[in-house]
Amino acid sequence: MESLTLWVVDALVAAGIPAVARFPHGLRPRLTQARAAVELSVLRAESAYLGDYVGDAIEDGYGRKVSGTLAVRLFAPTAAELSAAASTALHALKQSPEMADFTAIRMEESSFSSQWDCFLRDIFVDFIALREDVYLELDGEKLAMVESYRAISHCQEREILSFGESAPAGIVRGKETHQLELFRLRKKGDLDLFSLEDFTLTLVRPAGKVHYLGCRWQEVEESSRGGTVEKAILTATGRETEEEEALTNASDGV
């Protein structure tokens, strides 16, 4: 999560608040104006892999949820400068970075530290990391990062009956359908994903690629924060897979 910490540092510096990843232990900052120190406070990781048979359907999924909290401590020589820096910091953190989605921002009450001989205020930023190992691809272009997904596949079957026989002579596979649920998408670029119809969507994961054919969007639940989709549901008429070994051989020219 170092890249996320550095993103917050850069965002504060761009807003006019000198900031560092953290002050070395015991080092007192020299304050001529408000400053900030940013560090990771809490980190949680939760596997979201799914894979099972559900009645006559096959359920599949993949993902890993990583969430946590960043702590931003503001230092200022006066209460007025601290208040102004807090307002500036909140404004700078309204926009989430590409690698994570900020889900909540909490600001503590200001206080005076006799140890540091300055005014202090803490801001805590809850986030969910958007992982690079699961994403959507269309025509070789990465469209969105995905926290996790679930797919349920159905295939209709029809028995072949022979005259005078009680047992079926065989089974014919019929139409297959797939329903995908995608959780926490972060779109990349300006392409409107949800304007696409009858398209082929590729889901890339560490084990390989899964291509879903004849896709159509059914439901989209967007977040109040721009660029993030909490949940999207689509249907597909076909499914093809590329395993990791095949992808590696192809890239090596084997």
Q: Is-contact 216 179, C-beta < 8 A?
A: no
Whether the pLDDT of residue 35 is over 60: the answer is: yes
Residue, of 204 and 220, whose pLDDT is higher: 220
Q: Span 104-112, mean pLDDT? A: 94
Name which of 175-184, 224-233, 234-243 the model is least confident about.
224-233
Residue 62 tokens read as 């993949």
Q: DSSP string spanning 79-147?
A: HHHHHHHHHHHHHHTSSPPTTEEEEEEEEPPPEEETTTTEEEEEEEEEEEE--TTSEEEETTEEEEEEE
Residue 193 tokens read as 């994903």
End-to-end CA distance of the chain: 36
Q: Span 100-113, mean pLDDT? A: 90
Highest averaged pLDDT of the listed ranges 24-38, 110-124, 155-169, 198-212: 110-124
Name which of 14-18, 85-89, 182-186 the model is least confident about.
182-186
Which residue carries 């503001």 as its tokens? 74
Whether the pLDDT of residue 57 is over 60: the answer is: no
φ/ψ (deg, to 5) at 28: -90, 125
Show the domains of the chain with their CATH numbers.
2-45+65-129 (3.30.2000.30), 135-252 (no CATH)
Q: Which residue, 72, 25, 15, 65, is CA-closest to 43?
A: 65
Q: Span 9-30, mean pLDDT? A: 79
**pLDDT reported for residue 153:** 80
Whether the pLDDT of residue 219 is over 70: the answer is: yes
Residue, of 240 and 170, whose pLDDT is higher: 240
**pLDDT reported for residue 224:** 63
Which residue carries 């700078």 as its tokens? 92
Q: Span 109-127, mean pLDDT? A: 91
Residue 202 tokens read as 């590729």
Q: What does pLDDT average to over the chain? A: 77
Q: How confident is the model at residue 245 (pLDDT cuts 50, 70, 90)?
A: very low
Residue, of 46 and 42, whose pLDDT is higher: 42
